[in-house]
Amino acid sequence: MHCKSVHCKSVVHGGLMAYPARMRPGRSKASALFEAVSAAGRAARVRFAGERIPLAARIQVTRRCPLSCAYCKLPAEHGDLMDTGTIFRILSELAHAGCMRLSISGGEPLLREDVGRIVEACADLGMAPEMNTSGWGLEERIGEVGRLELLKLSLDGPEEIHDAVRGRAGSYRAAVRAARGRGRMR
Ligand code: SF4
């Protein structure tokens, strides 16, 4: 699990920032039709074939993190958990199993060089990509992860508390900047 602080819809405590890509003006009719057909197919598999489908999944792509939260030991464990090819294979298997939403988490997923490709692959496979992130480094990489449909940011409190809990000065501002940058998602 990336962040253990509670996510809610408040920006002040545990911010959840949603980017409603499904409602974006640029979304094509073909894409909407594809999703509708896929959803109908899933419903039929459950209703008539009695299948159990993993509608949502989460993948932990790294344990690396630029922060060191008081309640987390992931950064001390170091390293990425899977190479790109392994992640792509898992994404493909999940998509074929009927998964609709995939949450990409860490550690801090934005530390992975291939995070943009992971997001793209997820979207290309018809799953809605989501990301759990501290927001650290998002501004620099926002162009790579523009197909995210949901970005989850946590705030642990006012700036001095957040930075103290997260073990790094500037982490509050990074999260707030990331939240404000949502308008630049494509
Ligand atoms: S931001 Fe990093 S250190 Fe903090 S809880 Fe998430 S993974 Fe752990």
Measured from CB, residues less than 6 Å from any atom of ligand 1 are 2-4, 65, 67-69, 72, 74-75, 106-108, 134
Q: Which two tokens stand for residue 58?
A: 């989460």
CATH of the domain at 154: 3.20.20.70
Domain assignment present for residue 47? The answer is no
Domain assignment present for residue 17? The answer is no
In one-letter notation, the amino acid at residue 158 is P
The pLDDT value given to residue 46: 77
The pLDDT value given to residue 182: 55
Domain assignment present for residue 126? The answer is yes
Domain assignment present for residue 26? The answer is no
The pLDDT value given to residue 112: 96
**Cα torsion 66, 103, 12, 184: sign:** positive
What domain range is 103 assigned to? 54-68+81-186
Domain assignment present for residue 24? The answer is no
The pLDDT value given to residue 14: 36
Domain assignment present for residue 33? The answer is no
61, 81 Cβ separation under 8 angstroms: yes
Neighbours of 125 (CB within 10 A): 17
Edge to edge, the sheet with strand 101-105 lists 16-18, 150-153, 128-133, 101-105, 56-60
Domain assignment present for residue 105? The answer is yes
The number of folded domains in the chain is 1
Q: Which of 62, 64, 66 is nearest to 140 (CA)?
A: 66
The pLDDT value given to residue 84: 97
b/e 77-109 (16+ beta carbons within 10 angstroms → b): eeebeeeeeebbeebeebbeebbbbbbbbbbbb
Give the residue, out of 6, 58, 68, 69, with the most ligand 1 atoms within 8 A of its beta carbon, to mutate for a pocket test: 69
Residue nearest to atom 6 of ligand 1 (CA): 3
Domain assignment present for residue 30? The answer is no
Mean pLDDT by 10 residues, the chain (186 residues): 34 37 56 75 78 90 94 83 95 94 96 97 96 93 92 94 96 91 52
The pLDDT value given to residue 90: 97
Please give the model's pTM, rounded to 2 decimal places: 0.78
The pLDDT value given to residue 64: 93
Q: CA 75, CA 15: separation in Å to the nearest integer?
A: 22
